[in-house]
Every structure is written in structure tokens, then in C-alpha cells.
Structure 1
Amino acid sequence: MKVSLVDLKRNIESIKNDLTSAIERCLENTGFILGDEVKLFEEEFTRYCEAEYCIGVNSGTDALHLALRATGTGEGDAVITVPFTFVATAEAIWMTGALPLFVDIDEDTYTLSTGELRRFLNERVKDGIDRVTGKRVKGIIPVHLYGHPCNMEEIMDLAKKYNLFVIEDCAQAHGARVLFHGKFRRVGSIGNAGCFSFFPAKNLGAFGDGGAVITSDRDLSEKVFMLRNHGRIEKYDHLIKGFNSRLDT
């Protein structure tokens, strides 16, 4: 008997009636892109993740890319992340024009080693500049993996010491909690932003591509909101250069 690692067909069968009803509602109201259902999802996912804002985007890759853009990351900058992750984590950094700098993982958790991160920052970063590449180190993207969160207390302490932003890659850890200063917090709600993928095979998968950025930073949320839809504030009013990263209903 063949047992699939990810049995999408079985998942669909278990909620098929609900899916059919939802699809019929969408066909009836014709809100196919950024429709009412997307707005409802953003509200519910905001509460679930214990954040203030959620912006639905086209994919997890776009979530990382737009969150990085919203921090002002670009040419001449560098962002620290891990090599043990899907290529999109580093790719999103490259898409801004910045350079990914890799710090090794912990051999027990497979997430960012805070010991290696501390050593890297102590040895290579002076006055915000990477001694090796000459790039300005702007931030850290820790990757929560297999539902296992990173050590966010130590990561945030180091980020504060070196004046770095933190964007959490939560593409494989939806709903996970981590102890943070005596209180359990949802992944994505601790750093400046949390980025999620809803690719069908993810921990929380959709029926197609999809992603989201969560944050409690109003300014960052407004920038991502504009960036996902050609820099648009409202219909036919575009303030900045953006992208086509709208979330399908």
C-alpha cells in the first residue's frame, strides 16, 4: 500500500462540502481577487497569530520579499539567515538587491543557532558593517522549521544590541508557540513581522499559492499593503512603486 507523505486528496475529502459551499459563494459574488473572504481571512488570521495586522499576498516568497522591502532593505545591505531552509528565504533577500549572509543551524533543533549568530555578529560586524563583504547588516530572518520555533528571546536580544530588524519565516510553523520572557507567544508575533506560506503542502495549506505578512507595526503594515498591489492606496491612487502580489480569494 502506498502511503503519501502529504495526502492532499484525503484532506480535501474531509472538508469537501464546506469547500464546495465556499467556492459557490465566491462564484456568486465574483470577488475573485482580494474579495470579502480575503478580508475575513486577514481578520481571523490576525487574531489567531496574536498580531495587529495581516496582509494577504500571493505567496510565502512574496511575503518575505515585501516585508523586507517595507523595512527599506535594498542594494548595499545584507540580511542574516540560515542555509537550511527552502531557497525562497535567501531568494527574497536577493530580490531586494541585498545579500544573504548565512549563519549555521543548531544540530538539535535545525533552527538558527544563537551561539553561531552571536559569534558571527561579534567577529564580523562592526558599526553595522560586515567586515568581509562591506555590506550594511540590516536584519535577521530566523526560520521556524517543522513546527519548531527558534530561540526568539536570544535572537531578539542580539537584534536589539546590533540594531537589526527581525522578520520571522513561519512558512513551516503556523500556530506554533514559543516561550518569550515568561509568556508563550505565537511565532510571527515577536519580530518586526512574520511571514507565512499557504502552499498546499505546508502545515496550513491552501488550494493554490498564497501567503501573508503579520505585524503589529502600523507603518510596516501600510507599506506591505501598498506594495502588494502596485503601490496602491485606493483605487487609481498609487503612491509608491509596488508589485502584483494580490491574494486570490
Structure 2
Amino acid sequence: MSTNPAINVDKLNVSFGDSHVVKDLSFAVEPGESYGIVGESGSGKSTVLRVLAGLNRDWSGEVDILGKRQPKLRDKAFYRAAQMVFQDPYGSLHPKKTVDDTLAEPLAIHGIRDAEAKISRAMQDVGLPTSFRFRYPHQLSGGQRQRVAIARALVLEPTILLLDEPTSALDVSIQAEVLNLLQALRHERKLTYILVSHDLAVVGHMCERLLVMQFGRGVEEMTAATLAARAPQTAYAQQLLTASEGFRRAG
């Protein structure tokens, strides 16, 4: 393990009104690691990701990303280093913007030159032909839209990708394709991932380690090997595992 984690979260707390949704959460992610956060709906896992991404500014605790203590309001340099891929490829792309516009916009905001080469590389990396550059979201399938969303996150050449249920809105037949693409990209670009999911099978496939959350707390951290051996230490994690296996068998 390296001495400097890519992401270090210490005693993170988040409340919405009277609702305390993340409670004293601490974890660390190593550079180049893929780390999963799993839990049922309402466990607080997506809230954690939104804090890391700078989208939720109402929190307390300490968040260090790439060795730098993060303020509530992030600077431009942060967004070059860390990008988020959202759950819904339908909602996260502007319906009146072509793929080209969508990919060019972050480059323009950050004043990055050589946009042409960067857009071409991002599209190539996510397996989209150049001819798709001037299509609109409604002309693409769900899987293609999510590839565009991944390309948009990659175009700034970040170090960290924050993935919020990146395949749950897609057809099952497409899910594996997108997960395999994300796996390949992590190795090619030497990225660090945090993947939030309610699906233990997805996390087991994608991550080396995972944190199980319940009611805003981290109840157990385990390796993918522990998950594969069906040997969680806590009753809740075991219950989650049994439920996910039962669901798959029934399906």
C-alpha cells in the first residue's frame, strides 16, 4: 500500500434538515485502485460520491483528494483531476447538443487546446465511431449515450472517475459491455475509481475492495476475494449478499 491514498475521507458527516444521512464515515482509496461502495437505497452511498465530486457542499469532516485537503467549493484544477459519470445517460446529456458539443464544452471551459485530438481519442477509447460526433442524444441507444458520458468524463484526462451506478439504467445485455469498457479504461489510463452500486455482482466484478453502507454508516470493508468467498464478517453484509444471490437466481 502506498503512503499517500488517492482519496482519503475522515469522519464525513452529511445532513439534510433533520435527516443525518452520512455518519462518521472514513475510508481511503489507493492510487489506481477500484473501490466499491455498496448499500441499499437510502444508505447514503450516492451522497458520499456527490460530496467527493464537489456537488454537495453541505458536509463536515475531512476529504483529501490527490494529497490536497478539499474545500467545500472546488477549483477548476480539481475538476480536471476528478470527474463523475452519472447513473442516467438520458438525463446527464443535453438533448439539444451534439456529441461533439458535449465533448468540446469541458475543454473550452478549461481553456484546453488541441480539442480535436482529445475528442477523437476519447471517442476512440469508448468505442464510438467518429461519425457519431454530430449525432444528438435521441439518435443514440442507452449504451451509446453512456459511452458518450464516459468520453465526456475522460476528455479532460482526469486521474479519478467517480461512478454512480453507471450501468443500472441500461439493459442487462449492455451492462457487461459498459463495465468491461470501464475496466479496460482504468488499466489503459491508470485511473482510480470509486464505484457506487446496490449490486454486489457489479462491485465484485469491478473492484478490489468494497465498503458496505447501512443507514449512513460504513458497516464493513472487505476485499473482492472475501465477497467471492461469500465470507463477510457482519450479519448485514451477509444478508445483502444472500439477497443479491436470491434475486439473481429468481431472475
Normalised TM-score (structure 1)? 0.33
Please state which structure has a larger fraction of its residues in strand: 2
Please state which structure has a larger fraction of its residues in helix: 2
Higher relative contact order (CA 8 A, sep 6+): 2
Normalised TM-score (structure 2)? 0.33
